[in-house]
Amino acid sequence: MSKGQLVESANVKSAGGRPYSPAMRVGEFLYISGQVPLDRSGNTVGPGDPVAQTRQCFENIEELVEAAGGTLDDVFWLTSYVTDIRVFMDHPEIRTEFFSPPYPASTVVQVSSLAQTGWLIEIEARAYLGE
């Protein structure tokens, strides 16, 4: 059995050249690795700005879902890793810019730090690309 099919986008840069896939399609499911606030040039977006960083993470997720032939409506699960959960909880409106009801199921976890200084959030996602 195959591990799945690599999904990538020229507009989504990997974080630090680590050996991982940005997304993998396995059957009708798409597993998106944690997306960080990097723009298409590999620059950190919005240092110190949780709204801008969250928006960039969602834009990266959208790029990868579309590269796999889906839309954000196909996303059913999000896991967010944040460095300050209070700041994240102050901005729920960002999700409504990208997702519509029923919203994806979600978990938010506060961590002491992320892979690069200045990153405030990392978001991974799962999507169902079937019927």
Per residue in 83-129, pLDDT (tens digit) is 999 888 878 889 999 999 999 999 999 999 999 999 999 999 999 99
How far does Cα 35 stand from its chain's mean position? 4
Using the Cα atoms of residue 1, residue 76, residue 82 and residue 85 in order, give the sign of their dihedral. negative
For residue 91, the enclosing domain spans: 5-128
Tokens of 57: 């993470």
Q: What is the pLDDT of residues 5-53, one digit of tens each?
A: 989 888 887 766 667 889 999 999 999 999 999 999 999 999 999 999 9
pTM, two decimal places: 0.93
For residue 42, what are the CA distances in angstroms to 17, 39, 57, 131? Answer: 11, 5, 12, 34
Do you know the residue count of the chain? Answer: 131
CATH number, domain of 16, equals 3.30.1330.40
6 burial type by CB count under 10 A (0-12 exposed, 13-18 middle, 19+ buried): exposed
Domain count, the chain: 1
